[in-house]
Amino acid sequence: MAKDCLFCKIVNKEIDSDIVYEDDKVIVFKDINPKEPVHLLIVPKVHRESIMDLKKEDAELISHMVFVAQEIAKKYNIDDKEKGFNLLNNYGKEGGQEIDHLHVHFLAKSKPST
């Protein structure tokens, strides 16, 4: 955990967030400034600053994040090709990364029907 990392504080429940999914590897919560009707952040519990800080041993974690995205899509009933969703990872300042903790944006235009 990075001492001043916002997402580490959310992972450790030091800061409240609207959590929609959690397991031993990741936490998923609603973005506080949503760009789409569904805008969630899939955040690993282990601190990695960015996609460029991943190690080969993190391959299982990254694939787990994708499988969690599948579960979220099913939960929100947007798992068909007609509706769909986007997964987005930003890297660096010019790439749009605002928080120095690896995370994947889960974005969907369809309103959730949970």
- Which residues have a catalytic role annotated? 103
d(CA 89, CA 105): 6
**Which DSSP symbol is given to 113?**
-
Residue 72, C-beta contacts closer than 8 angstroms, at least 6 positions apart: 20, 21, 28, 40, 42, 106
